[in-house]
Amino acid sequence: MQSLKLTRQDTWQATARLNKCFLIKTINALSVAGMLVTLLSGCPQNAAAPGRVGTPTCLACHDGRSAPDKREFLDGVHAAIDCEDCHGPGLGHVRAGGRGGLLIANPGESPFGHTPALCSQCHEAEVAGHALTAHAGAKAASCNTCHDVHKTGAMPFSTPNKTPLGNAGYQKLCGECHETQTEQFALSVHATSNVATCAACHNPHLETTFTAPPENNQLCQQCHGGFFLGLDTEEAVDIHTGDFHPVDPAGTGASRCVSCHMVPLRANNQARSPHDHTFNTVAPSDTAAMIAAGLAPHPNSCAGTLGCHDAGTPGSGEPFDLNSIADNETLQALYEQIGLIPEKEFQ
Ligand code: HEC
Ligand code: HEC
Ligand code: HEC
Ligand code: HEC
Ligand code: HEC
Ligand code: HEC
Ligand code: HEC
Ligand code: HEC
């Protein structure tokens, strides 16, 4: 068993809470309702506290025979705390023989209320950040959707000892709900060369969900800013994005990587559309071919990207009509001037 590292709590905070907790526990130890108040207060408890039986007793049943197997807990990141720190006193549950899961709190029943409050005792920053995301706002994914606190690394698909999830693990986890992005991502060089996972760009505990801002190219330049991938200087980006796109990603959006490399997949309501996670650019000639075939045209990297060369959504660039073959052919000529990755220069 590893010891509890209080890396996430300031000592003064812990002390203040323990003082408050001493009062809360003393007052509430007398009734079942009171014990619930203690539980919800988030105060750490110990095996000797009223109504508590201790982790070994829980595991006597929770070994996979008559009740769900939680033995892995003892090898995991939460081994230093007790089952009852999160589930509350279990004496009643045990006396009832555990029957039907009676008389024990299951935080999973209140994933957007109780669960974050519980985790917040020790993971304040992650809870505060997550609360600002679409996952919390849409009541779509809470802490226990992505994390199994009873497992070694507390991540559902991690291998033992906190190994970060691999690409396959992320695709399984996130792909349950984000099918389009995940299918496309699996085709991208980022996945096939195993150089980036969903988490390289997305952090579910930050309001933006991004590991760095996409609007000023920092997100991509975490890796593509370096000498290795050839876009290390402003000049290099300028050449790559064509003479008409001087570097100004955060202003006009010219040279913003995601505008060209992550086009919206729908022409309508582009802001809400999924964005291309193959990271391939889409040539205007592809759009022209779709129109010629009588299909609804797919936005391309020039026209149809929000804010750029699309007459439907005027931005800073020259507007073109996404639905016009002639306009797409004009754009194609410009497109072909772009995509020249500068030669790597050895100094
Ligand atoms: C006497 C055996 C036994 C002991 C000891 C025991 N449990 Fe259980 N527990 C069960 C059984 C049986 C279930 C119901 C399983 C099912 O329905 O699949 C259960 C269900 C649960 C549930 C799910 C409740 C729900 O609403 O779904 C939780 C949480 C739980 N136990 C936690 C604990 C904790 C924490 C301890 C130690 C304090 C503990 N158990 C000790 C037998 C036991
Ligand atoms: C850090 C807090 C925490 C600790 C410690 C903890 N649990 Fe849980 N437990 C949860 C949460 C959150 C859920 C609901 C989400 C889920 O199912 O994983 C849960 C759900 C459960 C369930 C019902 C889900 C199922 O698999 O049927 C059981 C049973 C359970 N816990 C038993 C235990 C036992 C036994 C221990 C100690 C060995 C323990 N828990 C320790 C937070 C905790
Ligand atoms: C009483 C304190 C406590 C509570 C409550 C708690 N945790 Fe933890 N958690 C810890 C400690 C301590 C670690 C180990 C930290 C470390 O090794 O840096 C940890 C580790 C983790 C990790 C792995 C972190 C890493 O760096 O590998 C995850 C994920 C996690 N907890 C999720 C949760 C979730 C989700 C909840 C709520 C259901 C929760 N925890 C509740 C104390 C707690
Ligand atoms: C949509 C999935 C998802 C949700 C929802 C989620 N997490 Fe995470 N969490 C992750 C991923 C992915 C990582 C690993 C990030 C990495 O490897 O850099 C992680 C890492 C962590 C860690 C380890 C420290 C860190 O930041 O790397 C903790 C602690 C944690 N999460 C707690 C929580 C808590 C508490 C909640 C609920 C408020 C929560 N998470 C909600 C996916 C999620
Ligand atoms: C249980 C379902 C579920 C899981 C699992 C899940 N998500 Fe989500 N996610 C959603 C829903 C629902 C939304 C909100 C969609 C909307 O508002 O249109 C969302 C929104 C997002 C957004 C957009 C955020 C915004 O502000 O618009 C990103 C990025 C995202 N998820 C990434 C991830 C990643 C990365 C993972 C895996 C670590 C993941 N999600 C796992 C359901 C899920
Ligand atoms: C975690 C690092 C990382 C991040 C972040 C990243 N990339 Fe990459 N990317 C790479 C690496 C490494 C390669 C080269 C892989 C190879 O050639 O095997 C690559 C390759 C590419 C390719 C070439 C595809 C091909 O067919 O050759 C494109 C396009 C690309 N990335 C676009 C982007 C964009 C746009 C962003 C930002 C949204 C981004 N990348 C963010 C690491 C990253
Ligand atoms: C190289 C960086 C990068 C990687 C890797 C990445 N994404 Fe994204 N993702 C983005 C950017 C940038 C956006 C926002 C695009 C925009 O709004 O212009 C985004 C948007 C999203 C959204 C919001 C809806 C949308 O499509 O705009 C979801 C959901 C999402 N990503 C899920 C995932 C999942 C799941 C994975 C892994 C399978 C993943 N992403 C991998 C950069 C990335
Ligand atoms: C104005 C549109 C545009 C912008 C902005 C843009 N690119 Fe490109 N990029 C392209 C085109 C076009 C290609 C060539 C694609 C092809 O040939 O299939 C390309 C190719 C690439 C390649 C692949 C090179 C290869 O070897 O195959 C990478 C990597 C890349 N871009 C990264 C980036 C990054 C990182 C940014 C932001 C700093 C960025 N791009 C900004 C249009 C753009």
Claim: this prediction has a pTM higher than 0.85: yes
- List ligand 2's pocket residues with C-beta within 6 A: 55, 58-59, 62, 68, 70, 73, 78, 81, 83, 85-87, 106-108, 115, 144, 148-150
* Structure confidence by residue, pLDDT tens digits, 82-108: 999 999 999 999 999 888 778 899 999
Q: Which residues line ligand 5 (CB under 6 A)?
A: 134-135, 138, 140-141, 145-146, 170, 173-174, 176-178, 198, 202, 204, 209
Q: Is the predicted pLDDT of residue 3 greater than 70, yes or no?
A: no
What does the block give as tokens for 236? 């290099």
Note whether 141 and 224 are same-domain residues: no
Residue at 268 is within a domain: yes
Q: Of 107, 126, 146, which closes a domain? A: 146
For the chain, percent of residues with pLDDT exceeding 90: 53
User: What is the number of the ligand 6 atom nearest to the C-alpha of 200?
Assistant: 1
pLDDT tens digit sequence for 167-225: 888 999 999 999 999 999 999 999 999 999 999 999 999 999 999 999 999 999 999 98
In a domain, 127, yes or no: yes
Q: Which domain holds residue 140?
A: 11-146
224 and 315 co-located in one domain? yes
Report if residue 170 sits inside a domain: no
User: CB neighbours (10 Å) of residue 1?
Assistant: 8
Output the pLDDT for position 94.
94
User: Are 229 and 324 in the same domain?
Assistant: yes
DSSP string, 111-179: TTTHHHHHHHTT-HHHHHHHTTSHHHHTT---HHHH--TTSTTSSTTPPTTTPPP-HHHHHHHHHTT-H
In a domain, 200, yes or no: no
In a domain, 162, yes or no: no
Are the CB atoms for 84 and 73 separated by under 8 Å? no
pLDDT of the residue at 340: 57
pLDDT tens-digit map of 214-267:
999 999 999 998 766 778 888 888 888 887 888 999 988 889 999 999 999 988
The pLDDT value recorded for residue 343 is: 53
Domain count, the chain: 2
* 141 and 217 part of one domain: no
Task: Please check whether residues 15 and 141 belong to one and the same domain.
Answer: yes
Write out residues with Cβ below 6 Å of ligand 7.
170-171, 174, 178, 181-182, 185, 190, 196, 198, 200-202, 214, 219, 258, 262, 274-275, 277
Output the residue whose Cα is nearest ligand 4's atom 21: 126
Q: Which ligand is nearest to the CA of 53?
A: 1
For residue 164, the model assigns a pLDDT of: 75
With the most atoms of ligand 8 within 8 angstroms of its CB, the residue from 341, 343, 344 to mutate is: 341
CA distance linking residue 189 with residue 161, whole number of Å: 28
Residue 153 lies in a domain: no
Q: Are residues 122 and 227 in the same domain?
A: no
Within a 10 A sphere around the Cβ of 346, how many other Cβ atoms?
5
User: Percent of the chain having pLDDT more than 70?
Assistant: 80
Q: Considering the domain boundaries, does residue 314 fall inside one?
A: yes
Residues 6 or more apart in contact with residue 167 via CB below 8 angstroms: 191, 194, 197
**Is 143 touching ligand 4 by the criterion CB < 6 Å?**
yes
pLDDT at residue 137 greater than cutoff 70: yes
Q: Which atom of ligand 3 has the smallest separation from the CA of 5?
A: 12
Judged against a pLDDT cut of 90, whether residue 18 lies above it is answered with no
184 located within any domain: no
Note whether 135 and 223 are same-domain residues.
no
**pLDDT tens column, 285-329:** 999 999 999 998 888 999 877 778 888 766 667 788 888 999 999
* Angle of CA points 33, 36, 38, to nearest 5°: 115
Closest residue to atom 39 of ligand 1, CA basis:
58
**Which residue among 102, 131, 146 closes a domain?**
146
| Nearest residue by C-alpha to atom 28 in ligand 8 | 341
Rounded to the nearest angstrom, the gap between the alpha carbon of residue 36 and the centroid of all alpha carbons in its chain is 32
pLDDT, residue 269, reads 82
Alpha-carbon distance values, 318 to 157, 159, 237, 239, 301 (Å): 47, 51, 21, 20, 14
The predicted model gives 279-285 an average pLDDT of 94
Instruction: Choose the residue to mutate in 45, 74, 95, 104 for probing ligand 1, maximizing ligand atoms within 8 Å of C-beta.
Output: 104
Cβ atoms of 329 and 285 within 8 Å: the answer is yes
Which of 146, 165, 181 corresponds to the end of one domain? Answer: 146
The vertex-87 CA angle with 84 and 89, nearest 5°, equals 55
Whether the CB of 190 sits within 6 Å of ligand 6 = yes
